Amino acid sequence: MITIDRHTDEFKRTDRGGSVATAERPQPSVHAREEDVVTTHRGRGSLARGMIRMLALPVAYAQALVQTILGFRLAFLLAGANPSNDFVDFVYEAGEPLAEPFQGIIANETVDGGLFANK
């Protein structure tokens, strides 16, 4: 039979603001008793939290993609990028449905003979 005796390690607080912790690790012994067996169970919400994390990852990727496209679109509009360039045209086309709800908020203005337009 094998018993499990507890061996405790203590960690002291350091000058840099570390924390004090006590860790127990099982040590095998010669004689085992049934009451020495330790079991652990997950909390009730751990499955739900795992599912939420799995669903949140694709949402985070989609959000990053939308922000990247809109960021490039804004940068190209501010820089006056050539819309006949293939990459600039792709960014304008991909960002059009994302920016469409905001069209018309600011009216087109003429400044020194040039047109300041919201695309």
**Could you give the count of Cα atoms lying within 13 Å of 34 in the half-sphere of its Cβ?**
0
Over residues 67-96, the pLDDT tens digits come to 999 999 999 988 989 999 999 999 999 999
**φ, ψ at 9 (rounded to 5°):** -110, 135
DSSP tag of 27? E
Structure tokens at 45: 């919400």
Over residues 16-66, the pLDDT tens digits come to 555 555 555 555 555 556 565 666 666 667 788 888 888 999 999 999 999
CB of 78 within 8 A of CB of 72?
A: no
Question: What residue spans define the domains of the chain?
Answer: 4-36, 46-116
pTM: 0.51
